[in-house]
Structure 1
């Protein structure tokens, strides 16, 4: 409804401007101040004052007079406050909004755009558990994919698996070389925690400055020869070598997927880079790159000199032994994306910005439309000192550690609140565990996705798990309250109004809640257009404040029969709205807390 109203207001204002001989390129439509009970406002009079030779309030008044509300969808009236035009909605807007959100569980989703988008995110090298510093990638990536899906795009979620580089060759060699008895105990259960011990041992063995294995130069040289053979075997398409590496990669990746499932984050496809080596795509890319004017052979490698394209660092794409690099294979990967999808979005750490500038330029030189490729860069997640996290020597803090701690702290808070209430109908242990998981994991996800990706996050427990502040539990509580009211109404035999009378929802708190409900589709659309899911987090925080004001001032079941039915419909509309906004962010919406 908000999107329809905004479009109708824009058309009416544009017509009024054109009729008055004013330019229509900037309508200045925006949200009104909090103390103005309108749905939209326009600051266009500021821009026109000089041209009109009149003060902005006079220009605004002339435009308001020129707009007839009657044919404008949902428009009740137009008035002015100083230089601003204010646009007010009618009762049909309220009724349609409440009906739509209360009866349609998909409220907030936009029509199918007929456009496919692949979102690649996480794509952590399968060398061990996911570190907390990289936790932002799956959380932001999943939210970006959710936002685009809600906005009407056909979204595919991909994890690009690095299964061909030196790291995986080292890992494979180490796994086949060391014995279980040579390694320390795993830090915790999980295939990634089990196998990462081999990877760490292999790197220590190859490091001449690491005396934990006391390897000789001759032993290291022999190991390097075996590692090089693995890399060359992959490049040559040797099936036996591929199977050896795949056995390690798939095992580690399976453990990493168990961690991602906890968030939860899922993928439609795990795309392996060896795919593009085995099908000839990489050879084709190398041949085409060598034919470019920018191609040079320097320092025993084929490279692209990109200085004339504003990039100081060369793009290396082929080693002297004719083995490709990750970046070369990624060119083939992205050309495959362009063949399969209309758009490609990659969520990636800010330390890869230069690499992606090189990639964009290289793809363009090869004749690709790089306007179809977009990146969302993110900064890191830090933990402050003294936060009570157990850090294992030499490994830092893994995402599993963070999630364990979040659930433990959420459980303690839930149990404390139950004790404070001293209720007879306390939740059982299953309920407590469910809520602790939903709140704990939700706190991590919400706190991460609520910030602009380029800003570094310092994760703080007190803020993230605060039931009273604008955190995940604060917003989740709104959904639980809506569910509680619905359950009580059902028990009392109260039915929601199917077409609520606007006159029965006439308090400022009710009208404000309707306005916020109506905005959800527009917020999702804007978040998708800008690839900024944190806009949805900002919206849902404001929504929670608005609902809580309604909850305090507008009792449902104690109202008279007709008003109770109208307010119940509004509560059901609010429940759908907050549930779907949280779903965009990947945060659970508990039915009880």
Structure 2
């Protein structure tokens, strides 16, 4: 209802300003400061002070007097507080909020006729997903979920680098070394199995005699040339390695979960000649220069000093060249293209966007969001010699630590009467994985993260378990509720009841903003806000023991509204909502 209320406020304020012959181009409607008691407020009086020649409080009073609320359903009282014009909600607003939030799908916005492709993760298929890159699939999946909740038609894509030097080295190493040359794999999975060949190959290239390295490099170059020439046998050789590794990586990502609608390979844009088409068009552009035996784009007109190389002297394309063809394919099939990238790819993203403009594309349809790295505190986890910490290691430890935390909170009676071993396993998985996702997605992407177990798994602090426990508590109350009476929002007169209802009302608007700004951390902040507000309500307002039947029925409905809101806020972040903890 908050979105509808805001629309009504803007309409009423605009009409009032027009009636006073004042400009309506900047209404200044926003959520007010904490010391202003209103649902929305306008700071328009500040803007008009110099034009009108009166102090802001006087202007605010005149504007408030001119506001008519008669034709609006959700706008109640209008008053002023200093320079602010304050708008309060009507009783119908609360009733409509309580009714709307009884729907399990509460928070999902109406469908839009806009398709969005979200490309994220896209880690090179050379081995298991490393914990340092864990932020990409978590952030990317959360962005896709926000857009989906906001009504967009969303597809999630993983762009597979199967045409670069790394996969050529991998293919050569896989075909060169024997199992006996390698250490035991760390896990029984194809990505852990095959990464041994990749590591062995790179080690050998660093240490072997120059003549032997030259022979190997010639073989690696022939693989790259075979890909560029569209040789089917080379495609098959590379694909045999890439597909196995990718299958293993997908198992790690599905644990988060981060699932994809399509895995789009670089080689697709070599096979269909679209990369060659891009090269031909770039050569004809005014920005093309041939320097240092390579074709390059001079992008200084776009404020980019470094030239973009799009064709090597040997006639092979580069990753960015093929990515240009990839993005033109996106523009052909989708209305918007969102890409999640590490902060080390900012220059590449700038060059890509400029080159797409050179090619004549509408680059306003392309949006990139960047993230910084995830670090572990020293001593935070054990690492295997020479391999660092893989995502699987992090998730395994998260579940194990969550299990310890859950079991420490269960006394024998609760464990014996209510929770089976399977229940504890389920809760440990939901809490452990949820703690990792929530802790990572709750931070602004551009800020680096040092992941700390104590904070992430703190049931009493602002963490996933804290929010998850609120959902479980709601489920417990509703399981015990036996209410047949229809809920009447007007009996919810306690400040804690009203506060919870008002926070519930804001959820769809939070989804809308998070989707438009590509900022899922805003939903994490909201999830903490509603959890804190619910806990205050739960502490001050008895639900099942309320003496008045109408109050009891309304409070049960309010708990149900909170449950749906918390569950969907968590779902927007990709965090499971346990029904018991």
Q: TM-score, normalised to structure 1's length? A: 0.96
Distance 2:77 2:556 in 1: 28
C-alpha deviations, 1:430-474, integer Å up to 9, x for none? Answer: 111111111111111111111111111111111111101111110
CA contact (8 A) 1:235 1:323 kept: yes
Distance 1:218 1:76 in 2: 84
**Alpha-carbon distance change, 424 to 35 in structure 1, aligned in 2, over 3 angstroms:** farther
CA contact (8 A) 1:346 1:374 kept: yes
Measure how far apart 1:420 and its partner are.
8.3
C-alpha deviations, 1:554-587, integer Å up to 9, x for none? Answer: 1111012211111111111111111111111111
CA contact (8 A) 1:418 1:426 kept: no
CA contact (8 A) 2:338 2:366 kept: yes
Which residue of structure 1 aligns with residue 402 of structure 2? 410
Distance 2:279 2:318 in 1: 10
Which residue of structure 1 aligns with residue 79 of structure 2? 79
Which residue of structure 2 aligns with residue 335 of structure 1? 328
Q: Which residues of 2 match residues 50-199 of structure 1 at below 5 A? A: 50-102=50-102, 104-199=103-198
Pick from 297, 302, 325: which aligns with 1:304? 297
Pick from 234, 241, 251: which aligns with 1:241? 234
Which residue of structure 2 aligns with residue 439 of structure 1? 431
Which residue of structure 2 aligns with residue 567 of structure 1? 555
CA contact (8 A) 2:324 2:352 kept: yes
Which residue of structure 2 aligns with residue 512 of structure 1? 499
Which residue of structure 2 aligns with residue 278 of structure 1? 271
Distance 1:424 1:317 in 2: 66
CA contact (8 A) 2:16 2:68 kept: no
Which residue of structure 2 aligns with residue 394 of structure 1? 386
CA contact (8 A) 1:344 1:373 kept: yes
Measure how far apart 1:21 and its partner are.
1.8
CA contact (8 A) 1:475 1:541 kept: yes
CA contact (8 A) 2:95 2:490 kept: no
Pick from 535, 545, 567: which aligns with 1:548? 535
Which residue of structure 2 aligns with residue 425 of structure 1? 417
Measure how far apart 1:73 and its partner are.
2.2
For structure 2, the 5+ residue unaligned runs are none
Moved more, 262-271 or 426-435: 426-435
SS at match of 2:124: coil
Measure how far apart 1:314 and its partner are.
1.2
Measure how far apart 1:37 and its partner are.
4.5
Distance 1:357 1:570 in 2: 48
Measure how far apart 1:41 and its partner are.
1.6
Distance 1:341 1:157 in 2: 12
Moved more, 553-562 or 197-206: 553-562
C-alpha deviations, 1:43-70, integer Å up to 9, x for none? Answer: 2222223333332222222222211222
Measure how far apart 1:30 and its partner are.
1.6
Distance 2:289 2:79 in 1: 67
CA contact (8 A) 1:111 1:152 kept: yes
Distance 1:566 1:306 in 2: 63
CA contact (8 A) 1:160 1:271 kept: yes
SS at match of 1:418: coil
Distance 1:562 1:425 in 2: 33
Distance 2:65 2:195 in 1: 72
**Alpha-carbon distance change, 50 to 310 in structure 1, aligned in 2, over 3 angstroms:** closer
**Alpha-carbon distance change, 565 to 95 in structure 1, aligned in 2, over 3 angstroms:** same
Pick from 440, 459, 464: which aligns with 1:467? 459
Q: Which residues of 2 match residues 30-69 of structure 1 at below 5 A? A: 30-34=30-34, 36-69=36-69
SS at match of 1:251: helix
C-alpha deviations, 1:227-284, integer Å up to 9, x for none? Answer: 1111111111111111111010000000000000100010000000000000111111
Measure how far apart 1:107 and its partner are.
1.1
Distance 1:458 1:256 in 2: 23
C-alpha deviations, 1:340-385, integer Å up to 9, x for none? Answer: 1111010001101101111111111111111111100111011111
Measure how far apart 1:112 and its partner are.
1.4
CA contact (8 A) 1:449 1:534 kept: yes
Distance 1:71 1:288 in 2: 58
SS at match of 2:542: coil
Pick from 379, 396, 413: which aligns with 2:372? 379
Moved more, 328-337 or 61-70: 61-70
Query: What is the RMSD of the two structures over their aligned residues, measured on CA atoms?
Result: 1.4
For structure 1, the 5+ residue unaligned runs are none
Distance 1:76 1:327 in 2: 56
SS at match of 2:459: coil
Measure how far apart 1:423 and its partner are.
6.0
Moved more, 282-291 or 78-87: 78-87
Measure how far apart 1:225 and its partner are.
1.0
CA contact (8 A) 1:317 1:324 kept: yes
Which residue of structure 2 aligns with residue 521 of structure 1? 508
Q: TM-score, normalised to structure 2's length? A: 0.98
Measure how far apart 1:294 and its partner are.
2.0
Distance 1:557 1:308 in 2: 68
CA contact (8 A) 1:117 1:341 kept: yes
